Amino acid sequence: MNRTLVLAHGVVSYVVFLAVFVYAVGFVGDLCVPRSVDTGAGGSAVLVDSVLLALFAVPHSVMARPAFKVWWTRFVPPPVERSTYVLVSSLLLGLLFWQWRPIPFVVWRVDNPTGRLLVHAVFWIGWAVVLVSTFLIHHFDLFGLRQTYLHAAGQPCPPIEFKAPGLYQFVRHPVMTGFLIAFWAAPTMTAGRLLFAAATTAYIFIGLRFEERDLERAFGERYRAYRRRTGMLLPKIIPVKPEPQPGESDRDRDMKR
């Protein structure tokens, strides 16, 4: 029964995540949702929106840190640690969507029909990059479903090996690259959406600094070498020269390039 409950927790957490993810697309793009970044109740917008952003960002970042996980799993079974993180983050994001206050002042607007179409295309490309990037590594592990399934099946849950397929060969965090593209690709940028985009961009950069530190501790020199040859959010234009190895000639290094 315990295994069944663990699996049910993982499935529910994943379904909630999917619902919030789909709503996020409509919220950011002001598409087919009752409350979006540009629609909804008003009043004390900057203060309320800032508090909502902080309520999501702080737990989302703190719960992802290894030290917190060690403490947290004293109370939460390890198989549901990741899915609990996903559930809490999804609910906090849902709260943000529900209580967001729009600031309709227009900062910029693309009036040309072709230009608006191009910006919308970039918006959808950003979300596609987000989704595809999660499957390039291990989508179901990232959102906690793999852990709960293996526990329910009575199988061990070995950690995912470090790998860099597809977009990860050029960019270390393509999921975040996709989010940034989607958040900023706005044919009409209101002050509310600008606040959302700027705050989430700042959070992404701060959060990635902590995540990179954790990954370097986990994978050591292998991750440090990966950092040297890839960009954090954009591909590196100038390739990094391979470091010399003991007894390696200049010709051997040239062959590596």
Sorted by where each begins, the domain ranges of the chain are 2-238
Q: Are 121 and 56 in contact (CB under 8 A)?
A: no
Which residues, in sequence order, are CB contacts of 143 under 8 Å at separation 6+?
13, 14, 17, 82, 83, 86, 134
Backbone φ and ψ for 50, nearest 5 degrees, come out as -65, -40
Instruction: Say how far apart CA 94 and CA 23 lie, in whole Å.
Output: 9
Tokens 């470091």 correspond to 243
Q: Report whether pLDDT(250) > 70.
A: no
Instruction: Say how far apart CA 102 and CA 33 lie, in whole Å.
Output: 14
Residue 43 pLDDT level (bands cut at 50, 70, 90): low
Instruction: Say how far apart CA 256 and CA 233 lie, in whole Å.
Output: 25
Classify the C-alpha dihedral 192-193-196-197 as positive or negative. Answer: negative
Where is pLDDT greater, at 236 or 22? 22
Instruction: Give 243's DSSP letter.
Output: P
CA nearest neighbour of 103 among 186, 191, 44? 191
Percent of the residues in the chain that have a pLDDT greater than 70, as a whole number: 90
pLDDT digits over 54-84, tens only?
Answer: 999 999 999 988 899 999 899 888 999 999 9
Instruction: Say how far apart CA 119 and CA 114 lie, in whole Å.
Output: 9
pLDDT, mean of residues 35-51: 84
pLDDT at position 239 is 53
Both structure tokens of 85: 């993180």
Range 2-238: architecture per CATH: Up-down Bundle (1.20)
pLDDT, mean of residues 127-151: 92
CA nearest neighbour of 161 among 84, 229, 222, 79? 222
Which SS3 state, helix, strand or coil, does residue 107 take? Answer: strand
Distance, first Cα to last Cα, the chain: 56
Which SS3 state, helix, strand or coil, does residue 108 take? Answer: strand
What integer best gives the mean pLDDT of the chain?
88
Residue 143, burial from CB neighbour count under 10 angstroms (0-12, 13-18, 19+): buried
Instruction: Say how far apart CA 207 and CA 203 lie, in whole Å.
Output: 6
Backbone φ and ψ for 39, nearest 5 degrees, come out as -135, 155
Instruction: Say how far apart CA 198 and CA 196 lie, in whole Å.
Output: 6
pTM: 0.86
Q: Are 148 and 79 in contact (CB under 8 A)?
A: yes
pLDDT, mean of residues 191-202: 95
C-alpha dihedral over 183, 185, 189, 194, to 10 degrees? 30
pLDDT, mean of residues 221-241: 84
